[in-house]
Each structure stands twice: as structure tokens, then as C-alpha cells.
Amino acid sequence: MNELVTTPNVQDAISLITVLRACAILIAGWVAAKLSARFFKRACAFKLSAHHLSLFGRLIFYAIFALFFATAIHQLGFKISVLLGAAGILTVALGFASQTSASNLISGLFLLGEKPFEVGDVLRVDGDTGEVISIDLLSVKLRTPDNLYVRIPNELLIKSKFINLTKFPLRRIDLVVGVAYREDLSQVIRLLLELVNSEPRCMEEPQPFCTVTSFGSSSVDLQLSVWGRRELFRELKSDLMIAIKSTFDTHGIEIPFPHLSLYSGSQTDPLPIFQVGEKSQHSASSDNGIPH
Amino acid sequence: MKSKEKQDFWSTSWKVEQKPLRVDIGDLSLTINHQHHEWRLAYFWTKKENQGDCSCHFIDEFPETPTSLGGIHNGLARIAMETMTDELTFNPQLADRPVVVRPYSPLLIPANNKITLYISAPLWLCINFSKKVKRELPVQQLSDTWMGLITGKGELCYGSYTHARLDQDMLLRLPYRALTPVTMRNKSNADFTLERLSIPAPYLSLYAGDGQLVTEPLSIVMDSEKHQGVVEIGKVSGKKAITPPRKKADKGILVNTWENLFA
């Protein structure tokens, strides 16, 4: 084994000067790799995204450093071809052990080509929502709105569904508005659309619309849909709900609480409720056998 | 306020010292107060449907809190200045985005026909605190709207309605709106129904017209069968230039996709 790996007299081959030379080559390689990566990032700053710059910068660094590393190894007297052969056997063993990492790495390359999101986008993955702060070789890092750090392996992103909330510049706000059954639905729809038309942040095109969606157990449900700029989504949704409540209060339109009607049987009237102190009503009720 | 006085509004400078200056123009009501090393602005809009006037006068008190302002969508602003002057001027300015105008009723342009319609759009009030410090406010609040594909290949614009008059004598001449004559030539063999039109406001200049501020005329040649539209910005002669365009168009021609022009 020693005969295959080194020259016949190891002690003669590896001298202090050789070691120093190898170290100098390594240091020079590190500096050259660093400078090359930095130069590449500056030259392509306006042509590539932050993600691509980071990834290609790292690839350039590792490629150049690997060349200098091989040269340093050669300086020390080791035969590269034999080392590579041994490394091949080691690679197979490591490959089995690092299947997941390799899968993440390859998934990362696919994500790089497909570009479904970029740094700064907001993703919803498997119940976690957050802003993408970095896209790395093995994983993507998110920062949640409450400032938590989430690490998502690239493999998970490739094989499962995720939602990019900031891909497109517009978003539609869907509000479910429930009104009492006694209300005039045409008037309600007219008021809602007037409210939306008077709000400058609601887009004229695509046009807003309001439709009746269901007869609920306590209310008639309508859907009011408006389009707005993505960055105004949360604030506009809240302001619209406040404005709807205010408009309904002004026009006496009821937003009902969930309520339940009790019947003692299908053939009887609803159970009456009396306040304590209404004696005349109570005596009439007690004659009928109704408890109070 | 008479027509000449309304036009003079733009060319008058105001000295604001002890008392705040109240400006009412279109739907916008603006109060400006001069303080030590800062200007204070309080503003709000109330819809007046083109019935608003154009006036300036001094008042006694400056509204300090948003609740003391009227209208909807109000605001308070403070502008710090290194060097204070007490003089203000106002400039008219066109919108900072294209304005998508929708005729109150769709207009049919027959095949191989050419028409000229007159479209007005509200101005922005530009307050000049110094040569370099300015603040702009729209005199009428316009809604956001989108021209183009909603998946991103489009443009954020302002939305407005227009009567799209074909007769100049029927025009309502208001000092806070700018008039743009638009000549539309339908060179296809199919009729074209105009439901929306995008006016490239950032590329237009403002000129002093006859009791009305005007922009360069636009010439649109369209082929609805091939979905092509070319917008050419004309030239104005014999009128005084007031405000230059925000952006420059190459050779005065803008080639837009069909979706960004009409759809």
C-alpha cells in the first residue's frame, strides 16, 4: 500500500521545504479562489439573482481551490491517480451513507433551473409560512412573520406542494359577508360594490364582484372579491372589513350572530321566554302548563 | 373663481408666514403651515364629481390631528428643511403612471375609420418648497387598476372614467384636469369597440391652452385583427410649455402590447 501511495523513500520525499511549498500553494489557491468568486459576483451582479450569484460563486471557489489542492498534494509526492482510485471506492461507500444529502443537492439544482421562487418571496410550505432568506445547496431557509427560523430540505420542496404568495403582483381578497335573512340582498350587494368603488386601493380591473354563495344556518352568505396590489393585501383586507361593518351599521343591515330556534315539536310555536316580574304574562303561561 | 384667475393659480407664488395657507383644488383640500425649519401639510379628499373649485386663502388654525381633518383618506406630513424660505409655488403635473380611461359607454369605431376624441385626466398638485424639495398630491384620487396579464406581464395604472367627447364645444374646462386629444385610426377590416384606453401620462408634457391645460395629442393606429397598436406622441405649437414629461419616449413612439393598450 505504501508503495502505491508514495515514492519509494517517504522520508526523503516529504521534506520541510516541500511541506512549506504545499502550504503556500494552498494559501495561494484559497486567495485566488476567493478573488475569482468575488470578481464573478461583481461582474454578474445585475445579470443574475442573489441565489444564482451565491451558488455559482461557491462553485467557482471550490473548483479553483480543488485545483490548487490537487497541485499541493502532488507537491507532497502523492500520486493523484492512485488517490482518485481510492477515493472512488470511498465515494461509493459515502454515497450510500449520504443519499439524503445527495438528493437534497440534486433537488437544489432542479430548483435552481425551475426558479419557482427567489430570495425575498414568501412561501407557505406544509403549514409554515415565511420569507425566503437564503436558498442553499441542501436547504432553503425561511423566516416566519414572528421571527422564527425554518429550515426546509430541498428534497421536500421538489416532491411536495408549496405556495408562493408573492409570485404575482396582484392578489384577490375574498371576503365572506353574512347578512340576516330579512335583508334586501340587492341593496347589500349595491352597498358593498359602492364601498369597493370608493376605495382607491381596490383595482378597477380586474373588476370586483359580489355574489350570493349560500343560505347558511344563521345568515345569507355573500362573497365580496376585490383585487389589489400584493403588498397591500393584509392592510386592505382589514380596512375593507372595518368599512363593511361601518356601512352596515349606518344602513341598519344586520350581521347576525349564530342563533338557534328551539321548538318543542313540529306542531307547536317556539318556546316563549319571559322576563322575571311580568306577572300577568306568567299567570297566563302557568294556566297553560308552560314552566317559567 | 374666474377662468383667468383659475389659470393664474399655477403661476402665483404664495408667502406663508404666520397663518396657514388653505388650498382647495378639485377634490383635494390642503393646508400648509410654515414653522421653524419645517413645513407641515394636512390634506384630505372629498368626492365632488368635477364640481370642485380652485382657490387659495389663509386660515387661522392648522389641523393638528387626523381626526380634525374631514373627508376620507386624509394625511398629515412634516417636511424638514435645512434652509427655510417662506415662499411657495404650485405646479401642475400629470400622473406618475399611465391612466386607463373607460368611456361611460363603449364607443364603436368602424373598420377603416379615424376619429378624434378628447379625454381629460386629473392633475397632480406639485408643491415647490424649494428648487429641490417638492411634494405631489393628486387633486382627485384615482383607483389603482391593472392593464395586461394578471400573472405579472402588465402594468399598474390609474383608472378613470371619461365622457370621451368627440365635440370640443361640449368639453368641461377645469383648471385641475388636462385635456388630451386622441386620434384613433382603425386600419383593420373589423369594427373596434373602445372600452378602455391607456393614456401614457408619464410621457406627456403640459401646455397652457385656452382656459385649460393640454398635453401633446396622441395618435393611435390599431389593427384589432392582428392585435397591434402603435401610439405616437404628437407635437404642440404656439402654446406655452408648463411642465416637461416625467419620462422620455424614443422618437415619440410607444409600441404597446394590445393587452397593455386596450384589453
pLDDT at A251 over 90: yes
Q: How many CB pairs under 8 A join A and B?
A: 47
Q: How many CB atoms lie within 10 A of CB A10?
A: 11
Distance from CA of A163 to the nearest CA of B (A): 15
Report pLDDT digits (tens) over A107-158.
888 888 888 998 899 999 988 999 999 888 889 999 999 999 999 999 999 9
Q: Are residues B210 and B127 in the same domain?
A: yes
Within 129-168 of A, beta carbons closer than 8 Å to B belong to 167-168
- Residues B97, B84 share a domain: no
Q: Are the Cβ atoms of B102 and A206 closer than 8 angstroms? A: no
pLDDT of residue B3: 43
Q: Based on the domain organization, do B67 and B107 belong to the same domain?
A: no
All 3 cell numbers of residue A262?
Answer: 328551539
| Alpha helix positions (H), B9-105 | none
CB neighbours (10 Å) of residue B235? 7
Instruction: Determine contact, residues A200/B71, Cβ cutoff 8 Å.
Output: no
**pLDDT score recorded for residue A289:** 46
Residue recorded with cell 479562489: A33
Kindly report the CA angle at A258 between A253 and A259, in degrees rounded to 5? 100
pLDDT at B93: 93
Bond from prior residue into A206 cis (ω within 30 degrees of 0)? yes
pLDDT recorded at residue A262: 66
- Reduced to 3 states (helix: H, G, I; strand: E, B; else coil), residue B36 is coil
Q: What pLDDT is stored for residue B2 in this prediction?
A: 43
Asked whether residue B147 falls in the same domain as residue B221, the answer is yes
The C-alpha of A280 sits at a distance from chain B's nearest C-alpha, in angstroms, of 51
Going from N- to C-terminal start, the domains of chain A cover 2-97, 114-164, 170-251
Q: What H or E segment, with its residue span, contains residue A159?
A: helix A154-159
Considering chain A, what percentage of its residues have pLDDT values greater than 90? 49
Contact A171, A227 (CB under 8 A): yes
CB-based contact B145 A205, cutoff 8 Å? yes
Give the count of beta carbons closer than 10 Å to the beta carbon of residue A262: 7
CA distance B27 to B23: 11
Interface touch A203/B145, C-beta < 8 Å: yes
Q: Average pLDDT, whole number, for chain A?
A: 84
Task: Assess whether B29 and B56 both reside in one domain.
Answer: yes
> Which pLDDT belongs to residue B255?
57
Beta bridge partners of B115: B184
Q: Measure the CA–CA gap between B136 and B128, rounded to whole angstroms.
A: 9
Domain A2-97 classified CATH 3.40.50.1220? no
**B51, B72, B89: which is the final residue of a domain?**
B89
Cell of B204: 406627456
pLDDT score of A238 more than 90 = yes
What pLDDT is stored for residue A79 in this prediction? Answer: 75
Helices A99-114/A50-75 angle, 10° precision:
130
pLDDT of residue A235: 94
Is any Cβ of chain B less than 8 angstroms from the Cβ of A208?
no
More confident residue, A28 or A263: A28
CB-based contact A85:A134 (threshold 8 Å):
no
Using an 8 Å CB-CB cutoff, list chain A residues near B151: 168
Cβ contact, residue pair A200, B141, below 8 Å:
yes
Q: Class assignment of domain A114-164?
A: mainly beta
Cell numbers at B213, concatenated = 391645460
B77 and B124 assigned to the same domain: no
Could you write out the DSSP letters of every residue in B177-195?
Answer: EEEEEEEEEE-SSS-EEES
Measured between beta carbons, the chain A residues lying within 8 angstroms of B147 are 205
Residues of chain B neighbouring A235 (CB-CB closer than 8 A): none
Residues 6+ apart with CB under 8 A from B36: B84
Contact B123, B94 (CB under 8 A): yes
Residues B79 and B124 both lie in one domain: no
Q: Using the beta-carbon criterion (under 8 Å), do B143 and A199 form an inter-chain contact?
A: yes
Pick the CATH number of A170-251 from 3.40.640.10, 3.40.50.970, 3.30.70.100, 3.40.190.10: 3.30.70.100
Are B51 and B168 members of one domain? no
3-state secondary structure string, B3-29?
A: HHHHHHHHHCEEECCCCCEEEEECCEE
Domain boundary among B31, B65, B89: B89
Tell whether B104 and B76 lie within a shared domain: no
Q: Cα–Cα distance between B181 and B118 in angstroms, integer?
A: 5
State the Cα–Cα distance between residues B200 and B178, nearest whole angstrom.
13
Which of B73-106 are b and which e, b meaning 16 or more Cβ less than 10 Å from the residue's Cβ?
A: ebebeebeeeeeeeebebbbbbbebbbbbbbeee
Which pLDDT belongs to residue A74? 84
Exposed, middle or buried by CB within 10 Å (0-12, 13-18, 19+), for A273? Answer: exposed
Bridge partners of residue B157, in order along the sequence: B145
Q: What is the mean pLDDT of residues A268-280?
A: 68
The runs of H, that is alpha helices, within chain B are 3-8, 258-261
Note whether B63 and B161 are same-domain residues.
no
Task: List the single residue in A with minimal CA-CA distance to B155.
Answer: A169
A128, A140, A144, A155 from A148: Cα distances, Å = 10, 14, 5, 21
- Tell whether ipTM is more than 0.95: no
Q: Can you state the angle between helices A50-75 and A80-97, rounded to 10 degrees?
A: 140
Do residues B133 and A149 lie in contact, with contact meaning Cβ atoms separated by under 8 Å? no
Is A199 close to B156, i.e. CB distance below 8 A? no
Highest mean pLDDT among A56-60, A99-103, A108-112, B149-153: A56-60
Which of B73, B89, B105 finishes a domain? B89
Structural domain that includes position B232: 92-261
Q: Does B151 touch chain A (CB under 8 A)?
A: yes
Instruction: Work out the average pLDDT over A66-91.
Output: 79
Q: What pLDDT is attached to residue A290?
A: 46
Domain count within chain B: 2
Distance between CA B196 and CA B193 in Å, rounded? 9
**Quick one: closest CA in B to A205, which residue?**
B145
> Model confidence over A157-173: pLDDT tens digits?
999 999 999 999 999 99
Q: Are residues B74 and B140 in the same domain?
A: no
Residues in chain B: 263
The residues of chain B scoring below 50 in pLDDT are 1-6
Q: How many helices (H) and strands (E) does chain B have?
A: 2, 23
Cell of B3: 377662468
Q: What is the pLDDT of residue A10?
A: 58
Question: Which of B76, B78, B81, B47 is closest to B63 using CA atoms?
Answer: B76
Q: What is the least distance, in Å, from the CA of B155 to any CA of chain A?
A: 9
Residues B116 and B82 in one domain: no
Residue A43: pLDDT over 80: yes
Q: Contacts from B233-241 at CB under 8 Å and sequence distance 24+?
A: B233/B200, B233/B203, B233/B204, B236/B205, B236/B207, B239/B207, B239/B208, B239/B209, B239/B214, B240/B207, B240/B208, B241/B205, B241/B206, B241/B207
Query: What are the backbone angles phi and psi of residue B180, rounded to the nearest 5°?
Result: -125, 115
